[in-house]
DNA sequence: GATGAATGAGTATTCATTCAT
DNA sequence: AATGAATGAATACTCATTCAT
């Protein structure tokens, strides 16, 4: 009836699943709860997705794609590497705070997860680190940044944000604001050492 | 019979539980698996611990205490703040790599966990950040470090380590070595920016 | 396939549960046994009833409704209060003997039962005493019966029947016949005292 | 150390068990709870009683003996059958109200109980009905009471009291007072029918 | 007289999934 | 596109009981 581009029920399931996976993790999402939340019967979920794993991968793909796109947009909105970095840090903080990307939320239960999913997650990680690595490489080439390993450095940056999400937002329910983003930006750029003339 | 200082059975359960919680998370640890691993009957676990939650808190307490103690030792083994920091970073990387402290591994599940446990975790977090905060404050007082928020800065450092644990060790099964510790140490001290004369 | 008025599976579970609750009480009914008796898997019971409590309340409701209806029918089948009472006593004896209403059978466990269920039982008790109270009030109004407290008197009558069910039927496995009903009827109407001219 | 006639710990266990059996029934008493209540280890219970069944029978025997003795005392304290009956009814109401004899409390779970215990209960029932039967026979012999079946009549009387205990005391937590005893006495003696000159 | 450790069988309940309709 | 019924395997947890000390 609706002339929408994508079938609504499938999207509604994905939306609800994104929420629940982010809150409860892979094992923690119950198909029954998901169905209830969607106002559908359990069996209907299986009409749209082969099984829980397929559902998870769909959500993960959509989710990481969104993060990837937003980071690219943020980088593109600025001209020089430091400004790009700043935009990316702000964007990543906001995204994690608002959507709690399930990539982040699933990382800690990796031990119990099937190899198949792990590989998929491993690939998706690149699509998040990618935009950051690009900026770092750009800055190093321009002589603005020191010649560090770009992958490790990007991973370190991502880790700082995650620490605030997990230890502050999730644990203490304290909102992550621009002060955190600014702190991370400053620390990441200049370190803690007092540099003298 | 054994004139050991600590009663073996309870400790054996805690050891196995430490392992399993770290690998599978809170929900992911099955009492049956734990009992099997210990060579005990399920009911025997309940003879020693009131329930899964009590078991978890016992493990968590022992685990965070160990991390706390090791970090203090590391700091005490060096004289000046930068050296102390370096020792602490190395120690934390090693500990996380070897024991995958369940504090870290449980963070993701915080959403679904009962308030009671959350509060406990929240308190224990301080005992891990504490030693780092002390060193930072010391360095700032000495004019060696820039005047940043010590809590946020310590949290950022911890986050960097966690990123390598989750994204490299847990996900790709790649061991975390001294190169990682060294990278984090350098980045944390000086940032990425190329400082000019 | 069957054009029956009520869905068979749910009713079959209720029938089996009525039996088992009556025999073993609330705690004594095992969902596994119930499922076995129905030829269903345990999980199927939970497909139809939220939990044991919901199942119990369903059975209790159906059971007390039946007793209530039968007592009303019995009373309606006769004209004068004494005859009504006699019919009610016979009917109640027969019902208890055949079905061992779970209301009766659960009473002992009241101590351990949750307040929620107790309240439900308390309400249901009225639907059984009601028909008797009505007859007694009728007879008193007509001057046939002495002006006693109708509630207490009805309760006393019910108690006499229960004594025979528990002490004879359940304990000694001796069937309760018309001799018992007749005894109760005579005792309830005239007492034990030899009235003189 | 104590020159008491009976060993205290065994009595303490019996006292606690009497309470718990009365409240929760046979199945409902947990050895762990009993041990906790006594401040003893579970194994200590088994040091004094072979198993749960033996414990139950000990309690039951002590309990019914007490009821039996008190009923005999009550009967002996009066001269003529009606006065004896009145005393017995008052005493029985009080005993049931205060101690909730486990005989009463176990009756409703008879279905699930082992044949061995049932037989024991069956025997003990006589020691409670006995005193009442004696009074009734006495009254009938004296021409004061109508020639009814003494066993059935005694059972009916007991049933009336039980109805008030289960439906009022246990269910509604309403205390059973002398009004109930008086009602039962009057009803039992004269019935409900208005006798005319 | 007392107990800590241990256990096998049991409890109610939830899980992801299948299938006929 | 959707679902009610059904299920086998799993979950955390409790039970009465035994035994070496």
Q: From the CA of A27, how many Å to the C1' of E16?
A: 11
**Does the nearest atom of strand F lie within 7 Å of C41's Cβ?**
yes
Give chain B residues 39-58 with Cβ within 7 A of strand F. Answer: 42-43, 46, 51-53
pLDDT given at position C112: 67
Q: Which nucleotide lies at the shortest CA–C1' distance from A42?
A: F3
Q: How many CA atoms lie within 13 A of B37 on its CB side?
A: 17
Question: Per the CB < 8 Å rule, is A158 touching B163?
Answer: yes
Structural contact between residues B171 and A121, judged by C-beta atoms closer than 8 angstroms: yes
> In whole angstroms, how far apart are CA C68 and each of C61, C74, C124, C128, C131?
10, 10, 9, 5, 7
Q: From the CA of B47, how many Å to the C1' of E4?
A: 9
Q: From the CA of D42, how many Å to the C1' of E15?
A: 35
pLDDT given at position D110: 74
For D28, residues 6+ apart whose C-beta sits below 8 A from its C-beta are: C27, C109, C111, C112, D20
Question: Per the CB < 8 Å rule, is B183 touching A148?
Answer: yes
For residue D47, give how far its alpha carbon lies from the nearest alpha carbon of chain C (Å).
27
What is the tens place of the pLDDT at every residue in A75-129? Answer: 999 999 999 999 999 999 999 998 888 887 777 677 667 788 888 889 899 999 9
Question: Per the CB < 8 Å rule, is D109 touching C111?
Answer: no
Q: Which of C28, C110, C187 sits opposite D171 (nearest CB)?
A: C110
Mutate: best of D92, D108, D181, partner C, most C CBs <10 A: D108
Token representation of residue B157: 């450092």
What is the tens place of the pLDDT at every residue in B98-110? Answer: 888 877 767 766 6
Which chain B residues contact residue A170 at CB under 8 A?
A: 107, 110-111
Closest alpha carbon within chain C to D192: C189
pLDDT above 70: residue D1: no
Mutate: best of B167, B173, B180, B182, partner A, most A CBs <10 A: B167
pLDDT above 50: residue B1: no
> In whole angstroms, how far apart are CA C132 and each of A138, C71, C94, C136, C159?
93, 8, 16, 6, 13
Cα separation, C26 vs C114, in Å, equals: 11
Q: Which of C145, C183, C193 sits opposite D149 (nearest CB)?
A: C183
Structural contact between residues C92 and C158, judged by C-beta atoms closer than 8 angstroms: yes
Q: From the CA of D22, how many Å to the C1' of E3?
A: 28
pLDDT above 90: residue B70: yes
Q: Which of B28, B139, B191 sits opposite A109 (nearest CB)?
A: B28
For residue A56, give how far its alpha carbon lies from the nearest alpha carbon of chain B (Å).
16
Which chain C residues contact residue D163 at CB under 8 A?
A: 155-156, 158-160, 162
B–A contact (≥3 CB pairs within 8 Å)?
yes
- What are the two backbone dihedrals, phi and then psi, of residue B193, each rounded to the nearest 5 degrees? -75, 135
What is the tens place of the pLDDT at every residue in D42-80? Answer: 999 999 999 999 999 999 999 999 999 999 999 999 999
Chains that touch B (3 or more CB pairs under 8 A): A
Cα separation, C162 vs C97, in Å, equals: 10
Q: How many CA atoms lie within 13 A of B172 on its CB side?
A: 13
Nucleotides in chain F with any atom closer than 7 Å to protein CB: 1-20
Per the prediction, chain B carries an average pLDDT of 90
Which chain A residues contact residue B194 at CB under 8 A?
A: 143-146
Structural contact between residues B155 and B161, judged by C-beta atoms closer than 8 angstroms: no
Per the structure, the residue whose CA is closest to nucleotide F6 at C1' is C44
pLDDT given at position D6: 57
Q: From the CA of C35, how many Å to the C1' of E6?
A: 32
**Does the nearest atom of strand F lie within 7 Å of C50's Cβ?**
no
> Tokens 């963070």 correspond to what residue?
B107
pLDDT above 60: residue A3: no
Question: Per the CB < 8 Å rule, is C108 touching D156?
Answer: no
pLDDT given at position D7: 66
What is the tens place of the pLDDT at every residue in A37-82? Answer: 999 999 999 999 999 999 999 999 999 999 999 999 999 999 999 9
> In whole angstroms, how far apart are CA B143 and each of A80, A193, B147, C162?
31, 9, 8, 89
Stretch (H or E) spanning B173: none
pLDDT above 60: residue D103: yes
Give chain C residues 165-194 with Cβ within 7 A of strand F. Answer: none
- SS3 (DSSP) at B145: strand
pLDDT above 50: residue B3: no
Which chain B residues contact residue A121 at CB under 8 A?
A: 171
Which chain C residues contact residue D110 at CB under 8 A?
A: 166, 170-171
Cα separation, A2 vs C63, in Å, equals: 50
Other C-beta atoms closer than 10 Å to the C-beta of C29 total 23
Degrees, nearest 5: CA angle D121-D124-D126: 125
Degrees, nearest 5: CA angle C173-C179-C184: 100
Can you list the residues of chain C whose pLDDT is less than 70? Answer: 1-7, 108, 111-112, 196-197
Chains that touch D (3 or more CB pairs under 8 A): C
Structural contact between residues C151 and C133, judged by C-beta atoms closer than 8 angstroms: yes
Per the prediction, chain C carries an average pLDDT of 90
Cα separation, C17 vs C11, in Å, equals: 10
Chains that touch C (3 or more CB pairs under 8 A): D
Average pLDDT over residues B129-144: 96
For residue A10, give how far its alpha carbon lies from the nearest alpha carbon of chain B (Å).
25
Instruction: Assign D29 a pLDDT band (cuts: 50, 70, 90).
Output: very high
Buried b (16+ CB within 10 A) or exposed e, D144-171: bbbebebebbbbbbbbbbbbbbbbbbbb
**Does the nearest atom of strand F lie within 7 Å of B29's Cβ?**
yes
pLDDT above 70: residue B126: yes
**Does the nearest atom of strand F lie within 7 Å of D24's Cβ?**
no
Give chain C residues 63-82 with Cβ within 7 A of strand F. Answer: none
pLDDT given at position B100: 83
Degrees, nearest 5: CA angle D29-D34-D40: 160
> In whole angstroms, how far apart are CA B105 and each of B24, B53, B67, B69, B134?
8, 16, 14, 19, 25
What is the tens place of the pLDDT at every residue in A118-176? Answer: 888 898 999 999 999 999 999 999 999 999 999 999 999 999 999 999 889 888 889 99
What is the tens place of the pLDDT at every residue in B23-32? Answer: 888 888 999 9
Q: Which of D24, D143, D170 sits opposite C107 (nearest CB)?
A: D170
Torsion of CA A117, A118, A119, A125, to 10 degrees: 110
Cα separation, D63 vs D49, in Å, equals: 17
Q: Closest Cα to residue A92, out of A162, A23, A166?
A: A162
**Pick the residue with more confidence: A170 or B59?**
B59
C–D contact (≥3 CB pairs within 8 Å)?
yes
Beta-ladder partners of B193: A145
pLDDT given at position A2: 44
Cα separation, C61 vs C55, in Å, equals: 10
> In whole angstroms, how far apart are CA B153 and each of A23, A173, B103, B134, B146?
27, 19, 19, 11, 11
Cα separation, C128 vs C155, in Å, equals: 10
Full DSSP string of A28-93: H--HHHHHHHHTS-HHHHHHHSSSHHHHHHHHHHHHHHHHHHHHHHHHHT-SSHHHHHHHHHHHHH
Mutate: best of B83, B84, B156, B174, partner A, most A CBs <10 A: B156
Q: Which class for A46: exposed (0-12), middle (13-18), buried (19 or more C-beta within 10 A)?
A: middle
Instruction: Assign D89 a pLDDT band (cuts: 50, 70, 90).
Output: very high
For residue C58, give how far its alpha carbon lies from the nearest alpha carbon of chain D (Å).
19
Q: Closest Cα to residue C29, out of C40, C18, C39?
A: C18
CB pairs under 8 A between C and D: 189
Token representation of residue B86: 């370096």
First-to-final CA distance of chain B: 70
Which chain B residues contact residue A23 at CB under 8 A?
A: 111-112
For residue A2, give how far its alpha carbon lies from the nearest alpha carbon of chain B (Å).
36
Q: Closest Cα to residue C147, out of D188, D193, D197?
A: D193
pLDDT given at position B6: 54
Lowest mean pLDDT among A136-140, A178-182, B5-9, B110-114: B5-9
Q: Which of B109, B118, B170 sits opposite A25 (nearest CB)?
A: B109
Q: Which of B27, B172, B195 sits opposite A27 (nearest CB)?
A: B27
Cα separation, A75 vs A85, in Å, equals: 7
Structural contact between residues B150 and B171, judged by C-beta atoms closer than 8 angstroms: no
pLDDT above 50: residue D193: yes
Q: Which nucleotide lies at the shortest CA–C1' distance from D44?
A: E2
Cα separation, C47 vs B139, in Å, equals: 63
Token representation of residue B133: 């905060």
- Judged by phi (left if over 0) then psi (alpha if -120 to 50, else beta), residue A142 lies in alpha
Q: From the CA of D1, how many Å to the C1' of F2?
A: 78
Token representation of residue D109: 């779970």
Which chain A residues contact residue B86 at CB under 8 A?
A: none
Q: Which of B112, B121, B180 sits opposite A23 (nearest CB)?
A: B112
Q: Which of B118, B159, B183 sits opposite A162 (nearest CB)?
A: B159
pLDDT given at position C108: 65
Q: Which class for C154: exposed (0-12), middle (13-18), buried (19 or more C-beta within 10 A)?
A: buried
């Amino acid at each position: 009836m609706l002339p929408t581009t994508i079938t609504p029920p499938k999207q509604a399931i994905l939306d609800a699943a994104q929420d629940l996976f982010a809150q409860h993790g892979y094992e923690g999402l119950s198909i029954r709860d998901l169905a209830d939340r969607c106002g559908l019967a359990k069996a209907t979920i299986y009409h749209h997705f082969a099984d829980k794993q397929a559902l998870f991968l769909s959500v993960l793909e959509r989710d990481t794609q969104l993060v990837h796109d937003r980071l690219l947009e943020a980088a593109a909105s600025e001209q020089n590497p430091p400004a790009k970095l700043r935009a990316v840090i702000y964007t990543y903080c906001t995204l994690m705070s608002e959507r709690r990307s399930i990539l982040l939320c699933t990382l800690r239960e990796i031990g119990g997860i099937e190899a198949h999913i792990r590989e998929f997650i491993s690939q998706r990680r690149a699509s998040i680190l990618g935009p950051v690595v690009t900026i770092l490489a750009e800055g190093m080439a321009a002589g603005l940044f020191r010649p560090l390993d770009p992958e490790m450095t990007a991973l370190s940056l991502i880790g700082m944000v995650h620490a605030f999400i997990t230890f502050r937002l999730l644990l203490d329910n304290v909102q992550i604001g621009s002060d955190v983003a600014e702190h991370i930006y400053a620390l990441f750029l200049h370190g803690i050492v007092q540099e003298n003339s």
